Amino acid sequence: MAREIKRVKVLPGSDLDRLLEEAARGPLLLERDGERYRVEREDIWADYDAEKVRESVAKYAGSWKDVDLEAFKAFIYRAREEGTKLPTKP
């Protein structure tokens, strides 16, 4: 299972805010006690292809038309109540 990445709010005007401004222009390599950390801006739209999205929407449009929506909603609510935690080891 993938580990969830912790989000950190950066205060405007802070030292970290200034470093991120630099990282927006190009990758940074930070070093502390001989350990290096690469910081770079993530472009979430880099691989976005609008035409592929349109093709997928057209391909799958109506594919859920036979789904019993009330049963599906009941399933979702039941799953929320039961939770998603994995059982603990004995």
Tokens (6 digits) for 72: 């599906």
Chain segment 11-29, per-residue pLDDT in tens: 999 999 999 999 999 999 9
- Mean pLDDT confidence for 48-54: 96
Evaluate whether 24 touches 42 at the Cβ level (below 8 Å): no
Tell me what the mean pLDDT of segment 35-45 comes to: 93
Nearest-angstrom CA–CA distance, 38 and 30: 6
Element (H, E) at 70: helix 69-82
pTM of whole model > 0.75? Answer: no
**pLDDT, average across residues 16-45:** 94
- What is the structure's pLDDT at 82? 84
The structure tokens listed for 70 are 């009330």
Q: Is 34 helix (H, G, I), strand (E, B) or coil?
A: coil
Q: How confident is the model at residue 90 (pLDDT cuts 50, 70, 90)?
A: low
Q: Which amino acid, one-letter code, is at 45?
A: W
Q: Which two tokens stand for residue 32?
A: 């502390």
Report the distance separating Cα 11 and Cα 30, nearest Å: 19
